[in-house]
Amino acid sequence: MEDWFEHVSKSEPAFVAAYKDLDLTEEENALGEAAKLMTLMELFKGEESYEKCAIIRNRMDEVNKILRKGK
């Protein structure tokens, strides 16, 4: 039973249900996305996966537009 609960509690629907009550703004979501992307960028730089870095950079540009709009 504990294994089942651990698996289910880490599923995408459980994540959505747990965080839906936060009512995050677009800017807050963008900040979270930026943090995730910066972490991935550092990971891929270390692996010298520069094509992945370029893809992340494009996504960061989109996120930065959202953040600039909020200011």
Name the band, by pLDDT with cuts 50, 70 and 90, for residue 2: low
Asked whether 26 and 70 are in contact (CB, 8 A), the reply is: yes
Average pLDDT over residues 32-38: 95
pLDDT at 25 over 70: yes
- Calpha distance 68→40 (Å, rounded): 22
Q: Is residue 46 part of a domain?
A: yes
- Give pLDDT, residue 4: 64
- Give pLDDT, residue 57: 96
Q: Is residue 4 part of a domain?
A: no
Q: Is residue 17 part of a domain?
A: no
Against a cut of 0.85, is the pTM above it? no
Domain range enclosing 60: 25-71
Q: Is residue 69 part of a domain?
A: yes
Q: Is residue 59 part of a domain?
A: yes
Over pLDDT 70: what percentage of the chain? 73
Q: Is residue 1 part of a domain?
A: no
Number of domains in the chain: 1
